[in-house]
Structure 1
Amino acid sequence: MTTSGTILVIGATGTTGGRTAARLTAAGHHVRAASRRATPVPGAQPVRFDWYDPGTFGGALDGTDRVYLVPPLGDPDPAAVMLPFLRQARAAGVRRAVLLGSSAIPADGPGVGAVHRALPELFDQWAVLRPSWFMQNFTGTHMHARSIREHGVILTAAGSGRVGFVDADDIAAVAVHALTDDRAPGTDLVLTGPQALGYDDIAAIVTEVTGRPVTHQPLTYERMRDRLAGQLPLEFAEMLAGMDRAIAEGAEDRTTDTVQRLTGRPPHSFREVAERELTRGG
């Protein structure tokens, strides 16, 4: 393990940030849990943090030597707010940064790809986690989960394309390793579950686990974009619909051994996650 400094977890009330903060505090690390409302997190010191309010940066960084970075949600150009923060973090003594990216966006890609490119220039110790789509998209508050609960349907423009969906608990386990191991990974890590599944497969498993019929309804790119644009900025809706189209073309049809290699155990299957999270009243 590294020194007993403080680890700043940005997005500490979110899907991966919350799980990462919980694992770090359980292991005895000093954690500063950053969120817009400084929401209390068990075992951690809550601190107010807002990517769009640089006045919150200094307090969050005070005494911090490592940071887990969750980009601002829905921002097509996160580098505009993240890079000034990262430069301030380096000046404040942060030695290691672990960024939550996406399997769909490499270092030369748009959006968070620009932050990925900058990280090794700013920090000697770094890692970029590039998880596939979250299994929790079907069990939590994501639009797929809501659509399953309310209408028994999953709507995508992904066709019969397959995805190596990954459990957010497995992402958090890798994040803790990247933040606390003696040697930072110094690379990007593509994280997947144990098998690539189509959305028809997901619908069938949810049906079996919950006993409620769920189907996958494929949409065209244009219909998916327009549906998303009713809830999100157009540019972001186009990007998400485009990611679905890439899935249809096979871009996410892969699995990696990263979770097993870094945590010493196999990644959880979607059936395991569905049984864990959909059979407790969810």
Structure 2
Amino acid sequence: MANLAGKTLFITGASRGIGKEIALRAARDGANIAVIAKTDEPHPKLPGTIHSTVAEIDAAGGKGLALKTDIREEDQIAAAVAKTVETFGGIDILINNASAINLTPTLQTPMKRFDLMHQVNTRASFACAQACLPHLLKSDNPHILTMSPPPNLSPQWFANHTAYTISKYGMSLVTLGLAAEFADEGVAVNSLWPVTVIETAALNMIPGLEQGRARKPEIIADAAHAILTAPSREVTGGFFTDEAVLEAIGITDFEQYNLTPGKSPYPDFFLELDRNGKNDPQVAKLLEKLGRFHKAA
């Protein structure tokens, strides 16, 4: 089976939630993981720190490195990249997972929150890629994977939270641009997005949701693993959903990921009725390649 043994991952927002689960999935393969986040002391309202995540990574069979980093500051990103390379000898994979969310309409969105979302979401995704790329270019199977939705200019995704939507689509445009720019160099650049609401700290930011109607972050981790173990020159430029990726590699039982057995999760934002995204011809071709690779592996 394809795995991430010996690979080095640089994961932003890895102290909890989806970033942590991606890290633990890679750790079970024996990967090295730089845990990039600001939380180095226990938070009164949020679970996990960079140190507790590293302890779990080490226990799972990987090697963790806790790096307190504010990804709004490029000098801190540069220092974290340098320490990762010094410790593990390089970087094979960048996961742009960290994200700031504020689902407010325009008149209720302070510019301070607008700036935070754009600094953490769009700007930091670009800055982390820029800092990691010199090392990714030396890897034999380099990947950048960003947690952002397929670009979609339908007004419904802007009407209630324009500022947040622009910042998330900014992340997606980073994927679009870098995939084209670095295709000839063999760096895979893709985005991944959930079909349903995922149980994370951000879930509490969404008003009116019934508790328990979500999926565990493990579904994103399993889908990410399938993308990151694929050949970088063959699977790039895709805006994937978790369900579509897992179906491509033969996993169709999504009930196992439900937070509450028998309770259907809410659909996530930014996806049309074709929630898997498989009607996009480019994505369909990439999913076919992904499925062929994993069946052969």
Q: TM-score, normalised by structure 2?
A: 0.55
**In structure 2, the residue corresponding to 1:265 is in which secondary structure?**
coil
- The answer for the alignment partner of 1:50 in structure 2 is 70
Query: Match of 1:73, as an amino acid?
Result: A
2:218 matched to 1:169? yes
Distance verdict in 2 for CA 1:86–1:261, change over 3 Å: same
Query: C-alpha displacement at 1:76, in angstroms?
Result: 4.2
- The answer for the alignment partner of 1:260 in structure 2 is 247
Deviations 1:190-233 (A, max 9, x none): 3255xxxxxxxxxxxxxxxxxxxxxxxxxxxxxxxxxxxxxxxx
Superposition map of 1:60-139 within 5 A: 60-61=80-81, 62=85, 63-74=90-101, 75-76=117-118, 78-93=121-136, 95-103=142-150, 105-106=151-152, 110-120=169-179, 121-122=181-182, 124-136=187-199
Give the fraction of aligned pairs with identical amino acids, expressed as a percent: 13
Range with bigger deviation, 28-37 or 126-135: 126-135
Q: Extract unaligned runs of 5+ from structure 1.
A: 155-164, 194-256, 278-282
Residues matched between the structures, number:
198
Distance verdict in 2 for CA 1:142–1:30, change over 3 Å: same
Query: C-alpha displacement at 1:21, in angstroms?
Result: 0.6
Query: C-alpha displacement at 1:19, in angstroms?
Result: 0.7
Query: Match of 1:65, as an amino acid?
Result: D
Name the CA distance, whole Å, in 2 between partners of 1:111 and 1:73.
13
Query: Match of 1:258, as an amino acid?
Result: V
- The answer for the alignment partner of 1:226 in structure 2 is none
Whether contact under 8 Å (2:143, 2:189) holds in the other structure is yes
Whether contact under 8 Å (1:166, 1:191) holds in the other structure is no
Q: Give RMSD over aligned pairs.
A: 3.6
Query: C-alpha displacement at 1:66, in angstroms?
Result: 1.1
Range with bigger deviation, 183-192 or 166-175: 183-192
**In structure 2, the residue corresponding to 1:274 is in which secondary structure?**
coil
Q: Of 229, 234, 242, which residue of structure 2 is paired with 1:180?
A: 229
Query: C-alpha displacement at 1:125, in angstroms?
Result: 1.8
Name the CA distance, whole Å, in 2 between partners of 1:33 and 1:79.
20
Distance verdict in 2 for CA 1:132–1:92, change over 3 Å: same
Name the CA distance, whole Å, in 2 between partners of 1:96 and 1:186.
9
Name the CA distance, whole Å, in 2 between partners of 1:48 and 1:107.
36
Whether contact under 8 Å (2:22, 2:221) holds in the other structure is yes
- The answer for the alignment partner of 1:142 in structure 2 is 204
Distance verdict in 2 for CA 1:270–1:56, change over 3 Å: same
2:95 matched to 1:32? no
Query: C-alpha displacement at 1:98, in angstroms?
Result: 0.9
Structure with greater strand share of residues = 1
- The answer for the alignment partner of 1:213 in structure 2 is none
Name the CA distance, whole Å, in 2 between partners of 1:107 and 1:115.
16
Name the CA distance, whole Å, in 1 between partners of 2:71 and 2:77.
8
Name the CA distance, whole Å, in 2 between partners of 1:98 and 1:258.
13
Query: Match of 1:5, as an amino acid?
Result: K
Name the CA distance, whole Å, in 1 between partners of 2:5 and 2:198.
33
**In structure 2, the residue corresponding to 1:142 is in which secondary structure?**
helix
Range with bigger deviation, 20-29 or 59-68: 59-68
Name the CA distance, whole Å, in 2 between partners of 1:186 and 1:107.
22
Whether contact under 8 Å (2:125, 2:171) holds in the other structure is no
Query: C-alpha displacement at 1:135, in angstroms?
Result: 3.7
Distance verdict in 2 for CA 1:192–1:267, change over 3 Å: farther
Name the CA distance, whole Å, in 2 between partners of 1:119 and 1:147.
35
Q: Extract unaligned runs of 5+ from structure 2.
A: 41-49, 59-63, 102-116, 155-165, 264-297
Name the CA distance, whole Å, in 1 between partners of 2:202 and 2:147.
19
**In structure 1, the residue corresponding to 2:260 is in which secondary structure?**
helix
Range with bigger deviation, 26-35 or 121-130: 121-130
- Larger radius of gyration between Structure 1 and Structure 2: 1
Distance verdict in 2 for CA 1:107–1:22, change over 3 Å: farther
Query: Match of 1:142, as an amino acid?
Result: N
Name the CA distance, whole Å, in 2 between partners of 1:76 and 1:58.
19
